[in-house]
Amino acid sequence: MAGHVDALYIFLLIVTGMMTLLIFVCLIYFAARYRHRPGVRAEQLEGSTPLEITWSAIPFVIFMVIFAWGATVYFKERTPPDDAAEVYVVAKQWMWKVEHAEGQREINELHVPVGRDVKLIMTSQDVIHSFYIPAFRIKQDVLPGRYTVEWFRATKPGVYHLFCAEYCGTQHSGMVGDIVVQEPAQYEAWMNGGSTGPLSVTGEKIFAELGCSTCHRTDTQGRGPNLQGVFGKPVQLEDGRTVTADENYVRECILDPGAKRVKGFQPIMPTFQGLVSEEQVNALVAYIKSISAAKPGHADEKSKTSASTAAPQIREEVQQNALPNAQSNGSQVQ
């Protein structure tokens, strides 16, 4: 983004610089040309339509150019490419915790390879912070209670400053780090050193440990919605609204399940607010995402055939399970 942002910024400097120059040249010229001279009476002029149209139309065109150009750059900067590598960032007083989808964790450092689109999915454990990489010309507030996103593609290997750009308490000025941009081979080597396994696998474990998998079953429809293939798709809610199952929606469902309940399901899910850390929520989101990742090619065919052949079996299973499930469910909830 740096090239685009700089080009726009230089354009603004040139336009405002020329305007300033024009104003001062006119000021000095008019001061000399129309200075007070003994015996010469000032002549009063009132209004000039051509002049007024000119000084309205020219700035209007210039401002519209700035607006269109700025909007283009803004939307480009705000829209991460779909295939970007995902990195989770958790801010806290006063450090940056980073977790790669592959499972690598870092503190106050972010390793990325040259030339790859990287999407940061960020949240805060306490107050508002801001993830700012001046060299990449990107900055985004990091808020408690929701995800915000920013993205970049590093073009040159090197180490770049990372700053917190939102006053967040005593050590705010020390909440800094490094973005380490490496050649792909170097990056692979770094990535292979001491990973704990992909984030989605960690998420799958947490999903099982917390008992999510007893209701959100993947083989058949349980008491909660089947989460396979849900991510990124529209979801019909009980109150008639339709929302997209994005990171923020999944997060909200974990921490405040009643807020946006899926149509056709009972409000039996307990909240996990306070029971799971930000890192665990991230892992869960990564897991939900991983079971919805589109398999290129015959995903449609596959779901069609499995739906037609497996349907009777599933129905049978549901009937068998319906009674004991419902009872155990009731006692659990109460």
Q: How far is the CB of 278 from ligand CUA (least distance, A)?
A: 15
Is 168 an interacting residue with respect to ligand CUA (CB under 6 A)?
yes
Q: How far apart are CA 45 and CA 37, in angstroms?
A: 18
For ligand CUA, the closer of residues 54 and 171 by Cβ is: 171
Residue 35 DSSP code: -
Is 175 an interacting residue with respect to ligand CUA (CB under 6 A)?
yes
For ligand CUA, the closer of residues 119 and 129 by Cβ is: 129
Q: How far apart are CA 152 and CA 135, in angstroms?
A: 11
Type of residue found at 85: A
Q: How far is the CB of 166 from ligand CUA (least distance, A)?
A: 5
Is 129 an interacting residue with respect to ligand CUA (CB under 6 A)?
yes
Q: How far apart are CA 211 and CA 230, in angstroms?
A: 19
Q: Where are the beta strands (DSSP E) in the chain?
A: 85-92, 95-100, 105-107, 109-113, 117-124, 129-133, 138-142, 148-153, 158-164, 176-182, 234-236, 242-244
Piece of the chain touching ligand CUA by CB under 6 A; list 167-175, 184-192, 286-294, 316-324:
167-175
Q: How far is the CB of 162 from ligand CUA (least distance, A)?
A: 11
User: Beta strand 117-124 with 85-92: parallel, antiparallel or unpaired?
Assistant: parallel
Binding positions for ligand CUA, 68-127, rule CB under 6 A:
91, 94
Q: How far is the CB of 100 from ligand CUA (least distance, A)?
A: 21
Q: How far is the CB of 127 from ligand CUA (least distance, A)?
A: 7
Piece of the chain touching ligand CUA by CB under 6 A; list 110-118, 144-152, 161-169, 176-184:
161-169
Q: How far is the CB of 139 from ligand CUA (least distance, A)?
A: 12
Cis peptide before 96 (omega within 30 of 0): no
| Angle at 100 (CA atoms; ends 136, 294), nearest 5 degrees | 100
For ligand CUA, the closer of residues 176 and 201 by Cβ is: 176
For ligand CUA, the closer of residues 143 and 210 by Cβ is: 143
Q: Long-range pairs for 320-327 at CB < 8 Å and ≥24 separation? A: 325/222, 325/223
For ligand CUA, the closer of residues 162 and 285 by Cβ is: 162
**Which residues are registered as beta bridge partners of 160?**
179
Q: How far apart are CA 180 and CA 199, in angstroms?
A: 21
> Residue from 24, 55, 60, 167 that binds ligand CUA (CB under 6 A)?
167
Instruction: Report residue 228 as tokens.
Output: 């396979």
Under a CB-based contact definition with an 8 Å cutoff, are residues 145 and 125 in contact? no
Q: How far is the CB of 153 from ligand CUA (least distance, A)?
A: 25
> Residue from 150, 166, 204, 279 that binds ligand CUA (CB under 6 A)?
166
Binding residue count for ligand CUA, defined by CB under 6 A: 9
> Residue from 149, 164, 206, 250 that binds ligand CUA (CB under 6 A)?
164
Piece of the chain touching ligand CUA by CB under 6 A; list 166-174, 226-234, 253-261, 289-297:
166-174
Piece of the chain touching ligand CUA by CB under 6 A; list 51-59, 70-78, 168-176, 324-332:
168-176
Instruction: Report residue 203 as tokens.
Output: 């998420």
Is 261 an interacting residue with respect to ligand CUA (CB under 6 A)?
no
Under a CB-based contact definition with an 8 Å cutoff, are residues 92 and 168 in contact? no
Is 148 an interacting residue with respect to ligand CUA (CB under 6 A)?
no
Sign of the dihedral through C-alpha 22, 28, 30, 33: negative
Contacts with ligand CUA by CB under 6 A lie at: 91, 94, 129, 164, 166-168, 172, 175
